[in-house]
Amino acid sequence: MSRTDFSYVESVSPGSGRRDPRAALASDAAALHLDRDWRFRLGAGLHDTTDGFEDPAFDDDAWDWVNVPSMWQMHDLDGDAPYGKPQYTNVVYPFPVDPPRVPDANPTGEYRRTFTLPADWPAGGRTVLRFEGVDSCFAVWVNGVRLGDGKGSRLPTEFDATEHLEPGENLLAVRVHQWSSASYLEDQDMWWLSGIFRPVTLLHRPEGGIEDVFAHADYDHRTGRGTLTVDAPEGARVTVPELGIDIAAGETASAPVEPWTAETPRLYDAVVATASERVNLRIGFRTVTVEGGVLKVNGKRTLLRGVNRHEWDPDTGRTLSVEAMRLDVELMKRHNVNAVRTSHYPPDRRFLDLCDELGLWVIDECDLETHGFVFYEWRDNPSDVPMWREAYLDRMRRTVERDKNHPSIIMWSLGNESHTGQNLAAMSAWAKDRDPGRPVHYEGDWDSGYVDVYSRMYADHAETDRIGHRTEESTKDPALDTHRRNLPFILCEYAHAMGNGPGGMSEYQRLFEQHERCQGGFVWEWIDHGVRRHTDGREWFAYGGDFGEPVHDGNFVVDGLVFPDREPSPGLLEFKKVVEPVRIGVDAGSRRITVENLRDFADTGDLEFAWAVEDDGDTEHEGRLDLPAIDPGNAAIVPFPPAVAELGEPKGERWLTVRAVLAKDEPWAEAGHEIAWGQGRLAAAVAAPAPAGAAAAEAADSGYRLGNATFDALGRLTAIGGLELDGPRLDLWRAPTDNDLRSWNAPLADKWKDMSAALHRLEHKVLGIDAAGDGLTVATRVAAAGAEIGMGAVYRWRFADGRLWLTVEVNPEGEWDFPLPRLGVRAAVPKDLDAVSWFGGGPGEAYADTREAARIGRFTSTVLDLQTPYVFPQENGSRIDVRWASLSGGGRTLRFLGAPHFAFTVRPWTSEDLEAARHRSDLVERDRLYINLDAGLQGMGSAACGPGVLPEHRLLPRATAFTLGFETSE
Ligand code: IPT
CA distance 876 to 501: 10
CA distance 193 to 81: 13
**Residue 483 lies inside a defined structural domain of this protein:** no
DSSP state at residue 949: -
723 and 871 housed in the same domain: yes
827 and 943 housed in the same domain: yes
Choose which residue among 90, 190, 443, 456 to substitute to test ligand 1 binding: the one with the highest number of ligand atoms within 8 A of its C-beta. Answer: 90
Over residues 761-765, mean pLDDT: 98
What pLDDT, on a 0 to 100 scale, did the predictor assign at position 691?
Answer: 74
- The DSSP result for 677-735, as a single string, is EEEEEEEPPPPPPPPS-PPPPEEETTEEEETTEEE-TTS-EEEETTEE-EEEEEE---P
**Residue 190 lies inside a defined structural domain of this protein:** yes
- Whether residue 1 is predicted with pLDDT greater than 50 in this model: the reply is no
792 and 659 housed in the same domain: no
CA distance 494 to 508: 9
CA distance 41 to 64: 6
Please give the distance, rounded to the nearest whole angstrom, from the Cα atom of residue 758 to the centre of ligand 1. Answer: 31
Contact 503, 847 (CB under 8 A): yes
C-beta 416 within 6 A of ligand 1 = yes
C-beta 524 within 6 A of ligand 1 = yes
Cβ atoms within 10 Å, residue 203? 17
What pLDDT, on a 0 to 100 scale, did the predictor assign at position 613?
Answer: 98
**Residue 70 lies inside a defined structural domain of this protein:** yes
Choose which residue among 92, 189, 373, 543 to substitute to test ligand 1 binding: the one with the highest number of ligand atoms within 8 A of its C-beta. Answer: 189
Between the CA atoms of 724, 728, 733 and 738, what dihedral angle is there, to the nearest 10 degrees?
A: 60
CA distance 356 to 882: 43
Using CA of residue 143, residue 146, residue 151, residue 157, what is the dihedral sign?
negative
What pLDDT, on a 0 to 100 scale, did the predictor assign at position 773?
Answer: 85
Q: pLDDT (tens digit, 9 = 90+) per residue, 92-109?
A: 999 999 999 999 999 999
Give the helix/strand (H/E) hosting 478: helix 478-485
- Looking up residue 585, the CATH number of its domain turns out to be 2.60.40.10
Q: For residue 46, give the nearest of 75, 10, 18, 80 by alpha carbon.
A: 10
Contact 944, 738 (CB under 8 A): yes
**Residue 373 lies inside a defined structural domain of this protein:** no
CA 226 remoteness from chain centre = 35
Residue 152's contacts (CB-CB under 8 Å, 6 or more residues apart) are: 14, 15, 182, 367, 394, 395, 398
What pLDDT, on a 0 to 100 scale, did the predictor assign at position 662?
Answer: 98
Choose which residue among 312, 341, 457, 458 to substitute to test ligand 1 binding: the one with the highest number of ligand atoms within 8 A of its C-beta. Answer: 457
- Whether residue 634 is predicted with pLDDT greater than 70 in this model: the reply is yes
**Residue 633 lies inside a defined structural domain of this protein:** yes
915 and 850 housed in the same domain: yes
C-beta 493 within 6 A of ligand 1 = yes
Over residues 877-898, mean pLDDT: 98
Contact 17, 398 (CB under 8 A): no
Measured CA distances, 301 to 124, 222, 510 (Å): 50, 15, 16
Q: For residue 503, give the nearest of 563, 583, 555, 575 by alpha carbon.
A: 575
Instruction: Tell me how many helices (H) and strands (E) the chain has.
Output: 13, 60
720 and 635 housed in the same domain: no
Please give the distance, rounded to the nearest whole angstrom, from the Cα atom of residue 189 to the centre of ligand 1. Answer: 7
Contact 355, 260 (CB under 8 A): no
C-beta 458 within 6 A of ligand 1 = yes
What pLDDT, on a 0 to 100 scale, did the predictor assign at position 3?
Answer: 66
Please give the distance, rounded to the nearest whole angstrom, from the Cα atom of residue 458 to the centre of ligand 1. Answer: 9
- The order of strands in the sheet holding 157-160 is 31-33, 200-205, 126-131, 157-160
- Whether residue 689 is predicted with pLDDT greater than 80 in this model: the reply is no
Please give the distance, rounded to the nearest whole angstrom, from the Cα atom of residue 739 to the centre of ligand 1. Answer: 15
What pLDDT, on a 0 to 100 scale, did the predictor assign at position 701?
Answer: 82
- Whether residue 2 is predicted with pLDDT greater than 70 in this model: the reply is no
Please give the distance, rounded to the nearest whole angstrom, from the Cα atom of residue 71 to the centre of ligand 1. Answer: 24
CA distance 295 to 288: 7
C-beta 187 within 6 A of ligand 1 = no
CA distance 299 to 317: 40
Contact 198, 132 (CB under 8 A): yes
Over residues 932-944, mean pLDDT: 98
How many angstroms separate the first and last alpha carbons of the chain? 81
**Residue 183 lies inside a defined structural domain of this protein:** yes
Contact 632, 601 (CB under 8 A): yes
Please give the distance, rounded to the nearest whole angstrom, from the Cα atom of residue 518 to the centre of ligand 1. Answer: 21
673 and 715 housed in the same domain: no
Report pTM. Answer: 0.98
Q: For residue 115, give the nearest of 65, 169, 162, 153 by alpha carbon.
A: 169
Give the helix/strand (H/E) hosting 593: strand 592-597
CA distance 382 to 423: 8
Q: pLDDT (tens digit, 9 = 90+) per residue, 165-214?
A: 999 999 999 999 999 999 999 999 999 999 999 999 999 999 999 999 99
802 and 675 housed in the same domain: no
- Whether residue 690 is predicted with pLDDT greater than 80 in this model: the reply is no
Contact 145, 78 (CB under 8 A): no
**Residue 496 lies inside a defined structural domain of this protein:** no
- Whether residue 526 is predicted with pLDDT greater than 60 in this model: the reply is yes
Q: pLDDT (tens digit, 9 = 90+) per residue, 411-452?
A: 999 999 999 999 999 999 999 999 999 999 999 999 999 999
Over the Cα atoms of the chain, what is R_g? 32
591 and 714 housed in the same domain: no
- Whether residue 891 is predicted with pLDDT greater than 60 in this model: the reply is yes
Residue 969's contacts (CB-CB under 8 Å, 6 or more residues apart) are: 721, 892, 893, 895
Average pLDDT, the chain: 97
C-beta 945 within 6 A of ligand 1 = yes
Question: CB-side exposure of 410: number of CA atoms within 13 Å?
Answer: 29
Q: What percent of the chain has pLDDT over 90?
A: 97
27 and 175 housed in the same domain: yes
Q: For residue 356, give the nearest of 260, 424, 273 by alpha carbon.
A: 260
- Looking up residue 46, the CATH number of its domain turns out to be 2.60.120.260
What pLDDT, on a 0 to 100 scale, did the predictor assign at position 571?
Answer: 98
CA distance 776 to 695: 10
Instruction: Decide the pairing of beta strands 635-639 and 145-151.
Output: unpaired
Measured CA distances, 497 to 564, 606, 947 (Å): 13, 31, 12
Q: pLDDT (tens digit, 9 = 90+) per residue, 550-598?
A: 999 999 999 999 999 999 999 999 999 999 999 999 999 999 999 999 9
Q: pLDDT (tens digit, 9 = 90+) per residue, 463-520?
A: 999 999 999 999 899 999 999 999 999 999 999 999 999 999 999 999 999 999 999 9
Total domains in the fold of the chain? 3
784 and 638 housed in the same domain: no
Query: Of 151, 174, 205, at which residue does a domain stop?
Result: 205
Q: For residue 261, give the nearest of 291, 294, 303 by alpha carbon.
A: 303
**Residue 498 lies inside a defined structural domain of this protein:** no
Residues designated as active site? 417, 493
820 and 895 housed in the same domain: yes
Which atom belonging to ligand 1 lies closest to the Cα atom of 556? 11
Q: Which domain holds residue 184?
A: 7-205
Query: Of 205, 222, 239, at which residue does a domain stop?
Result: 205
Measured by CA distance, the residue closest to atom 9 of ligand 1 is 945
Q: pLDDT (tens digit, 9 = 90+) per residue, 204-260?
A: 999 999 999 999 999 999 999 999 999 999 999 999 999 999 999 999 999 999 999
Q: How buried is 276 (Cβ within 10 angstroms: 0-12 exposed, 13-18 middle, 19+ buried)?
A: middle
C-beta 90 within 6 A of ligand 1 = yes
Query: Of 205, 230, 261, at which residue does a domain stop?
Result: 205
618 and 656 housed in the same domain: yes
